[in-house]
């Protein structure tokens, strides 16, 4: 039995951040009942190009594996009745909507506590349910701009840049998943549910971490660094070799000492300008051109062999295809293969969250569901008969066939 096999979550989720968070819980065994609005065509992620067809897409498959889908318009009287029946049997209601929408839809704890006093209502919004931006929509790109991330990304003197991946969205999903599990634990212990008011804005700001601390406490002004260099540890950056790029990181003084041996430049270790982290940071403009010139004299592979042998943190800079076919990626069973009627075999990335002994912590996965694929089954599990299901469908609560 998976560790979350006794957890049921009713999810009004869409796009990336919300579905990403709940997919980790689904892989750990939680039942995720994905409520999709039939008047809007379901989750907007189903239509994201370029690989989108028949109310599904490879984008949608990336975030919704191992879930169930029902179509339900919770704004209709019949849909509201069904929703309340779901809440009675659930541990949590999870959503990622604009900050003012949970109140409009009646999916906060105060709205549902009389239906289920132990229900956890977890809302991941762009800006939270309080504050001057609470009614604004929030997307990863917007939050990377507002959160200061784009001012730190890219080469000095270049334009602001976002990270290559939607990391605010994905980290927001992780934050929501952690909060939701904590709140469910508390509700089971105390017998009383709660709200979880989470936001992508809070996530982006909190992830500023030590540069934020340095700025708030010591007036440090973060900025872009050349070749993605660490702001204070030198050398720790990307270096160009004769045929490509690699990262070398001296995160401890012993690694710097070893690097000077690999480079056949032990004189650098003896130079008082480069003796410590602080010294090398102060004199980086004198040191880094020498290191960069040395790394350009050999290929990536020619450098990696002695660097690995000296246990110096390093890696070739790979493209996505190389990363996905790396032997370590394959050995760690990070690629899930599921059959799909439209796309054939869909290969997606499994969760990095793992519970169980190494090698025995993976179970077969299911593709993301077709829109409304589980509606009738879920309703029958609630005790609805065919006549009642047909009446709900005729009234528009479940969408029209």
**Catalytic (active-site) positions:** 230
Helix (H, G, I), strand (E, B) or coil at 56: coil
Token pair, residue 146, equals 């507002």
* Residue tagged 């975030």 (tokens): 63
**Are 271 and 327 contacting, i.e. CB atoms less than 8 angstroms apart?**
no
Query: What one-character-per-residue DSSP string does 263-289 give?
Result: TT-HHHHH-GGGSSHHHHHHTHHHHHH
Alpha-carbon span 91 to 188, nearest angstrom? 9
Count other Cβ atoms within 10 Å, centred on residue 331. 9
CB count in 10 Å sphere of residue 183? 21
For the packed helices 386-394 and 77-88, what is the interaxial angle rounded to 10 degrees? 130
- Residue 110: φ, ψ to 5°: -60, -30
Give backbone dihedrals phi and psi of 198, rounded to 5 degrees, phi first.
-110, 155
Q: What is the dihedral of CA 332, 335, 337, 342, to 10 degrees?
A: 180
User: Residue 13: how many CB atoms within 10 A of its CB?
Assistant: 30
CA distance 67 to 214: 42
């Amino acid at each position: 039995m998976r560790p979350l096999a006794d957890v049921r979550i009713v999810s009004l989720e869409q796009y990336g951040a919300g579905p990403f968070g709940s997919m980790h819980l689904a892989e750990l065994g939680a039942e995720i009942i994905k409520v999709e609005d039939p008047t809007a065509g379901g989750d907007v992620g189903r239509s994201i190009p370029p690989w989108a067809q028949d109310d599904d897409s490879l984008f949608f498959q990336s975030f919704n594996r191992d879930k169930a889908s029902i179509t339900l318009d919770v704004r209709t009287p019949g849909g509201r009745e069904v929703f309340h029946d779901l809440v009675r049997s659930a541990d949590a209601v999870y959503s990622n909507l604009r900050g003012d929408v949970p109140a409009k839809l009646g999916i906060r704890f105060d709205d549902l506590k009389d239906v289920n006093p132990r229900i956890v209502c977890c809302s991941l919004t762009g800006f939270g349910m309080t504050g001057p931006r609470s009614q604004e929509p929030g997307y990863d790109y917007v939050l990377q701009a507002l959160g200061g991330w784009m001012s730190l990304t890219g080469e000095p003197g270049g334009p602001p840049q976002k990270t290559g991946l939607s990391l605010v969205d994905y980290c927001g999903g992780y934050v929501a998943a952690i909060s939701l599990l904590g709140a469910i634990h508390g509700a089971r212990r105390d017998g009383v549910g709660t709200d979880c008011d989470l936001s992508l804005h809070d996530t982006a700001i909190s992830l500023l971490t030590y540069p934020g601390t340095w700025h708030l406490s010591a007036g440090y002004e973060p900025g872009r660094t050349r070749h993605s260099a660490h702001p204070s540890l030198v050398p720790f950056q990307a270096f160009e070799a004769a045929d490509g790029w690699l990262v070398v990181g001296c995160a401890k003084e012993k690694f710097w000492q070893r690097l000077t041996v690999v480079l056949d430049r032990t004189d650098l270790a003896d130079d008082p300008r480069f003796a410590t982290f602080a010294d090398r940071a102060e004199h980086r403009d004198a040191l880094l051109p020498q290191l960069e010139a040395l790394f350009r004299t050999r290929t990536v592979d020619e450098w990696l062999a002695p660097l690995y042998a000296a246990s110096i943190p390093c890696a070739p800079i790979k493209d996505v295809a190389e990363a996905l076919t790396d032997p370590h990626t394959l050995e760690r069973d990070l690629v899930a293969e599921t059959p799909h009627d439209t796309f054939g075999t869909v290969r997606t990335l499994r969760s990095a969250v793992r519970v169980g002994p190494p090698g025995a912590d993976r179970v077969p996965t299911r593709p993301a569901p077709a829109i409304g694929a589980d509606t009738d089954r879920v309703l029958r599990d609630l005790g609805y008969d065919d006549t009642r299901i047909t009446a709900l469908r005729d009234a528009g609560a479940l969408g029209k066939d």
